């Protein structure tokens, strides 16, 4: 089996399209950092909010920003493969949208961002409807949601439905309670992918290399192989999820 390659499946590096790279120069700086860190491919995932923008307008803006980014990287000699997707903010309208315009290009995977502080009503029904349409939701940065920390059985339910869960590299780098929670998710086989969620060089830089360096070798390889599978629209090899149990007030 060949060695896996490092792929960043969640980052905001397209110029001027969301709260990530502000312009072409920022995109170049971020892509240089990705390349220096050994990243060989990225999935550009600008934010999409159904309630704020039309899907066709979003797709057109993303296409224009992607063209600028690719030309700039070619001009600068940056050799990192790139495709487009989106970080799709949760809405009950998702099953009724043209998801082919939002999923990772050339794949059946779609990155879904849940609300940060509130467990959204109808989430299970919405995810089920997406799965029934043949798409696999990837739940973005699941370490950020306090309602999941308080009740990880929610994450277990979503994973057993068929969703994948992504964690940001920062979750392993910062330590503290977030890292403890994420390591529990890993123990329960509820995390499948790691990405940078990079936005800017100074504030939220690409850090996938550092994130992998903080992991045991087998976990690092697991994340890398899953990242490859998703990028190339293959099915990752996933262990059976373990249902979290609460014992004396603590999740075990």
Lowest mean pLDDT among 106-110, 178-182, 244-248: 244-248
Contact 97, 133 (CB under 8 A): no
249 pLDDT higher than 90? no
Domain ranges of the chain: 6-236
Q: Say what the pLDDT of residue 174 is.
A: 85
Whose CA is closest to 26, among 173, 203, 170, 168? Answer: 203
Under 8 Å CB-to-CB from 192, ≥6 apart: which residues?
Answer: 164, 165, 166, 223, 226, 236, 238
Whose CA is closest to 141, among 174, 173, 170? Answer: 170
250 pLDDT higher than 90? no
The class (CATH top level) of 6-236 is alpha beta
Transcribe the chain into DSSP letters.
Answer: -PPP-EEEEEE--STTSSSS--SHHHHHHHHHHHHHTTEEEEEE--EE-TTTS-HHHHHHHHHHHHHHHHHHHHHHT---EEEE--EEE--TTGGGS-GGGTSPTTSSEEEEEPPSSS--TTHHHHHHHHHHTT-EEEETTGGG-HHHHH-THHHHHHHHHT-EEEEETHHHHS-HHHHHHHHHHHHTT---EEE--B-BTTTB---HHHHHHTS-HHHHHHHHHHHHHHHTT-----PPP----EETTEE-
Q: Identify which has the larger pLDDT, 75 or 250.
A: 75
CA angle 85/54/158 to nearest 5° reads: 50
Q: Identify which has the larger pLDDT, 178 or 66.
A: 66
- Band (pLDDT 50/70/90 cuts) for residue 1 is confident
Strand partners, 83: 43
**Tens digits of residue pLDDT in 109-159:** 999 999 988 898 899 999 999 999 999 999 999 999 999 999 999 999 999
**Tens digits of residue pLDDT in 49-105:** 999 999 999 999 999 999 999 999 999 999 999 999 999 999 999 999 999 999 999
Residue recorded with tokens 């909010």: 49
């Amino acid at each position: 089996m060949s060695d896996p390659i490092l792929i960043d499946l969640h980052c905001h590096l397209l110029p001027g399209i969301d709260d990530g790279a502000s312009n072409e120069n920022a995109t170049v700086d971020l892509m240089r950092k990705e390349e220096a860190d050994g990243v060989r491919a990225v999935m550009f995932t600008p934010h999409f909010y159904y309630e704020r923008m039309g899907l066709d307008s979003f797709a057109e803006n993303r296409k224009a920003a992607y063209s600028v980014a690719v030309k700039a990287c070619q001009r600068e000699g940056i050799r990192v493969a790139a495709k487009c997707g989106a970080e799709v903010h949760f809405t009950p309208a998702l099953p009724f949208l043209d998801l082919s315009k939002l999923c990772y290009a050339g794949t059946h995977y779609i990155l879904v961002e849940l609300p940060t502080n509130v467990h959204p009503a109808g989430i299970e029904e919405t995810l089920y409807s997406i799965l029934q349409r043949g798409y696999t939701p990837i739940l973005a940065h699941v370490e950020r949601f306090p309602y999941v920390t308080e009740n990880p059985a929610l994450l277990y339910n979503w994973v057993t439905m068929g969703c994948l869960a992504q964690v940001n590299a920062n979750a392993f780098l910062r330590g503290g309670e977030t890292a403890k929670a994420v390591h529990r998710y890993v123990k329960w086989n509820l995390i499948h992918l790691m990405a940078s969620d990079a936005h800017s060089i100074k504030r939220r830089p690409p850090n996938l290399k550092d994130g992998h360096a903080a992991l045991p070798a087998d976990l690092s390889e697991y994340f890398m192989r899953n990242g490859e599978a998703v990028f190339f629209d293959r099915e990752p090899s996933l262990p059976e999820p373990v249902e979290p149990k609460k014992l004396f007030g603590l999740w075990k």
